[in-house]
A and B are shown apart, each in its own frame.
Chain A
Amino acid sequence: MPDLGKYAGAVVTSWAATLVLVAALIAITWWQSARARRKLDAAEARRKER
Chain B
Amino acid sequence: MTTTRTKQANDRWNWLWEWANPVKFMSLSARALPWVTAITVVTLVVGLVWGFFFTPEAAKFGSSVKIIYVHVPSAMMAINIWVMMLVASLIWLVRRHHVSALAAKAAALVGVVMTVIALITGAIWGEPMWGTYWAWDPRLTSFLVLFLFYLGYMALWAAIEDPDTAADLTSVLAIVGSVFALLSRYAVNFWNQGLHQGASLSLDAEENVSDVYWQPLVICLVGFVALFVLLLLVRTRTEVRKRRVHALEMRERMSDA
Contacts and interface: CB of A to CB of B under 8 A. Distances in A.
Direct contact of A and B (CB under 8 A): yes
Interface residues of B, number: 39
A14 B235 contact: no
Given A2-B63, A36-B242, A17 B125 contact: no
A10 B67 contact: yes
Contact of A46 (B120, B125, B235, B252): B252
B141 interface: no
Interface of B: 52-53, 57, 61-64, 66-67, 70-71, 74, 109-110, 113, 116-117, 120-121, 124-125, 127-128, 227, 231, 234-235, 237-239, 241-242, 244-245, 248-249, 251-252, 255
A36 B245 CA distance: 8
A11 B44 CA distance: 18
Task: State the majority secondary structure of interface residues on B.
Answer: helix
A35 to B, nearest CB: 8
A17 B249 contact: no
Given A29-B235, A37-B241, A5 B57 contact: yes
A8 B64 CA distance: 8
Task: State the majority secondary structure of interface residues on A.
Answer: helix
Contacts of B67: 10-11, 14-15
Interface of A: 2-8, 10-11, 13-15, 17-18, 21-22, 24-26, 28-30, 32-33, 36-37, 39-40, 43-44, 46-47, 50
Given A2-B53, A7-B62, A13 B124 contact: yes
B241 to A, nearest CB: 4
Contacts of B127: 10
A5 B251 CA distance: 64
